Structure formats: structure tokens, C-alpha cells
Amino acid sequence: MGLGTVGGGTATVLTRNADEIKNRVGRSIEIVHAAAREINEQTLFDVNSNVKLSEDAWEVVNNPDVDVVVELIGGYSPARELVLKAIENGKHVVTANKALIALHGEEIFAAANEKGVSVCYEAAVAGGIPIIKSLREGLAGNKIEWLAGIINGTGNFILTEMRDKGRDFDDVLKEAQALGYAEADPTFDVEGIDAAHKLTILASIAFGIPLQFDKTFTEGISKVTTEDVTYAEELGYRIKHLGIARRTSNGVEMRVHPTLIPEKRLIANVDGVMNAVLVQGDAVGPTLYYGAGAGAEPTASAVVADIIDVARSFEADVNNKVSALSYQPDYQTSDKVVSVDEFETAYYLRLKVDDRPGVLAEVAHIFAEQGISIEAVIQKEPEVEGSKVSLILLTQKVQEKQMNTAIEKVSSTNISDSVTKIRLEHLD
């Protein structure tokens, strides 16, 4: 259902690699029925092909010849209703729909479990990278400590261009839109909503908590300036838009925000539209998964892998398959999701201060009072005599509410009229 970019790519890959797939699976996979909003001469499948064509997706979910329904329409509705109906009709479901899984996954998986069918969604997170499978199966012997991912290609393209070419955010965003990376309304990408959908899913698999999109903290990259990118570089860091999930003694942190990370980390060197997820397990240590996070065929690669998974264990019952979110439904944990005030992280701070003696001492004093240690400082010469100067601070790890109190104190004095705050993670 859905013959757009991903639907078209999926049909292409299934057709082109049909022999290869049959040799691996031991069963043929055949497209029998496809639905697109509009069927015309441009439709991928000719009306004379063996593929039945409908403009009404309900005909697919109600077709008794269909074993596996592939939902590539996107959005919440009618995707949710179609998927639930497919399950009710006893069909397995494969979807690339991150928004659907992040918000309605619990309902969908419960229905599937009751009916004894599979719902697979590898393509929903990081496109062609098999991160769902790696986390759910490949690392299943580990207690996952944290994970951090570049899981939105558009955002990573923008930040990479800002660093490589010194271009500013608005300028690169316009290019990304022209190249077709970003939607006309780029909010989902640059404000981190798309990444938050994906992070919600990864956190559930990693920690066994229910899907809780509404508790995922989200901050976009639209306020990142080339000035900050340059200072970060000077200090040995790159700014990346990361989705981070971490198990702490207070509960689980789920957060998407611009983050300074050391440039020598492999993930700091993941550039352009590419995605990568770094996972820290208690036994395996750090592992990283890298690849294309979007695009017709990379996403199709994950969709087809899911279809193959269904086909390879087609007659196995639900008790002999991997649980959708890794943990058995009855064994999900109720670990609390911590609020932003309780996040513990290091910080990059940029202040605009008067160019007079004693300013650094005053700032340092306020931070010391709040128990915040400063790790590194850059103070620049004023560009024009008497103008404000930039003061850059890197702090040690501290609770967000302590940091906010310190920033308020700084702002309430006449030291600095604005404080730019970007979180910093060492990822070690």
C-alpha cells in the first residue's frame, strides 16, 4: 500500500532480486496486489501485469490472497486503521512508518500478538541500517547502557554543510529543500520530531519500556549558528543532532538535541545525509551501525528484509518468533522516563560579555556556587574596541536544573545579556 518513493523502491528491489531472495528464503515472494492513491499510466505496475491494482487500500487488506501487507503510505491515518484491519484479517504486516509505530505501536503489537501475526518495522528507524534487528537480536545478551544516533539525514546534511563550508542554517535548509531532502515544511526534520519518533522506538527495544513518544525531549537545530559550529571545532568537537537514550539510576533519559561530541569519535565523522547509531552494551562495549537513513532503495532494503523475515519463519507460531519490541509484552519494565530537569550532561556555553577585567572571575564564581566545574574556556578579543566579546565555556557533567539556575544567575547580572547552551556528550 503506497507506491511513492519507498513503495516504488520496494517493488523494484523485490523484482530485481527475486531469484536471490528465493534462493535465500526457500519460498518465492510475489507482489499480488498494490494500492496507490491514483492509478494511471505512470503507475509502477502496468494494469496488464499480474499485480492487481487498486486506488482503495482497503481492498488490499481485505484480499484473501494477501499473506503480508506492506504499509508504505505514512502518517497516522488511515495507516493505523489499515494495519489494524490487516492484523484482524490474519495478515502479517511490514511498515516503514516511524510515526505510526512511535505513537500507536503498543496497540498494534498487542493486536498482532493476539492474532499470532508479525508486525515488522526495520525501515522505520535509520532506513537501510539493520539497527532494529541488531539491537533486538544481535545485542540481546546485553544490558544496554545507552545509545546515541544520527537518525535524521536532513539535519545531518545541514550541520555537515554548516561546518564544511561555513554556510548558515537557513541557506543550507533552502538547498536541502531544493535537493528534495527536506519537506516543504521542514519542521519534522529540523525540529527533531522525526528523530524523536525513531528514538522512542529504539529506547523501547533497548530498555524494555513502553513506547512513550510524548515523554521524549526534543530540541531542533534551527538555533545552531555557524559561530557555535566554529567554536566547537576549535575545541575539538563536532555538533551533531543526536537522539540519545540512556539508562540512569533515576530512570531512562530520552532526548533529541544538538550535541557537541569529540571529533575523534567515529560517529562524529558521519557526514552528509548518512545515518549512524552507536550502542553501548554492558558485555559488547561500543558498537556502531552506519548507512543510508533514507532514499528509495536503502529504505526498501529494510522493508524487503522484513518481508524475508516473515517468509523465512512463515509457519512458526508467535511463541517461536522474536517479540516486536524485543521484550516479551508481559515483561516490559516500568522504569520511569526522567524529565529534562534531571538530565545529566556536560555543556557548551557561549556568553556575550563586556570586555573588561574580572568578567571571567564573576562567571566562574557563579558556576562554582552551583557546584559546576569548568573544563575549558575560550575568550576572544573584541572585534571592535569596546564591543562585547564571546566567552565560551565547557563544563563537566551536571544536572540540567543546576545548569539552568546558574544560567539564570548569570543572566540576572549585567555580565551577559544572552547565554547559548548546547549539551555535550563524550560518548565514552
Q: Does 179 bind a copy of itself (CB under 8 A)?
A: no
Q: Which stretch binds a copy of itself (CB under 8 A): 99-107, 184-192, 194-202, 286-294?
A: 286-294
Under rule CB under 8 A, which residues in 204-243 are in contact with a copy of itself? Answer: 208
Q: Please, what is the angle between helix 153-165 and helix 226-234, to 10°?
A: 70
Q: Is 25 in the site for a copy of itself (CB under 8 A)?
A: yes
**CB contact at 8 A, 135 and 287:** no
Determine how β-strand 68-71 pairs with β-strand 92-95: parallel
Give the pairing type, strands 398-399 and 344-353.
antiparallel
CA dihedral 137, 319, 205, 108 (to 10 degrees): 140
Nearest to 273, CA basis, from 229, 241, 238: 241
Residue 249 binds a copy of itself (CB under 8 A): no
The reply to whether 14 sits near a copy of itself by the rule CB under 8 A is: yes
- Options 84, 138, 226, 389; binder of a copy of itself; rule CB under 8 A: 138
Tell me which residue of 253, 271, 266 sits closest to 423, measured CA to CA: 253
Please tell me the distance from the alpha carbon of residue 327 to that of residue 203, in angstroms, as a whole number.
12
Note whether 316 binds a copy of itself by CB under 8 A. yes
Of 249-257, 264-272, 379-387, 395-403, the segment contacting a copy of itself by CB under 8 A is: 264-272
What is the phi/psi pair of residue 242, to 5°?
Answer: -105, 145
Binding mask 31-50 for a copy of itself (x = CB under 8 A): --------------------
Query: Catalytic one among 85, 98, 198, 240?
Result: 198
Contacts of 71 (CB under 8 A, 6+ apart): 1, 2, 79, 82, 83, 86, 93, 94, 95, 96, 97, 100
As measured in angstroms, the least distance from the Cβ of 12 to a copy of itself is 8
Place of cell 524485543: 326
- Residue 89: name the closest of 62, 53, 121 by CA: 62
Among positions 143, 165, 365, 426, the unique one binding a copy of itself when judged by CB under 8 A: 143
| DSSP H helices in 208-341 | 226-234, 296-312
Q: Is 351 helix (H, G, I), strand (E, B) or coil?
A: strand
Alpha-carbon distance of 99 to 187, in angstroms, equals 14
Q: Which residue's CB is nearer to a copy of itself, number 218 or number 326?
A: 326
- DSSP three-state, residue 241: strand
Interface characters, 323-362, with a copy of itself (x: CB under 8 A) = x--xxx--xxx-----------------------------
Shortest separation between residue 427's beta carbon and a copy of itself, angstroms: 13
Amino acid at 63: N
Q: How many residues bind a copy of itself (CB under 8 A)?
A: 69
Stretch 399-428 residues interacting with a copy of itself (CB under 8 A): none
Residue number, 8 or 186, with CB nearest to a copy of itself: 8
Q: Of the candidates 38, 185, 315, 381, which one interacts with a copy of itself according to CB under 8 A?
A: 315
79 sits near a copy of itself (criterion: CB under 8 A) = no
Position 130 contacts a copy of itself (CB under 8 A): yes
Residue 378 engages a copy of itself in binding (rule: CB under 8 A): no
DSSP per residue over 75-135, as a string?
Answer: SSTTHHHHHHHHHHTT-EEEE--HHHHHHHHHHHHHHHHHHT--EE-GGGSSTTS-HHHII
Cβ 160 to a copy of itself, closest distance in Å?
13
Looking at beta carbons only, is 20 or 369 nearer to a copy of itself? 20
Identified binder of a copy of itself from the candidate list 34, 300, 338, 398, rule CB under 8 A: 300
- Residues of this chain that bind a copy of itself (CB under 8 A): 9, 13-14, 16-17, 20-26, 122, 128-130, 133-134, 137-143, 208, 266, 269-270, 281-292, 297-298, 300-305, 307-309, 312-317, 319-323, 326-328, 331-333
Catalytic residue IDs: 198
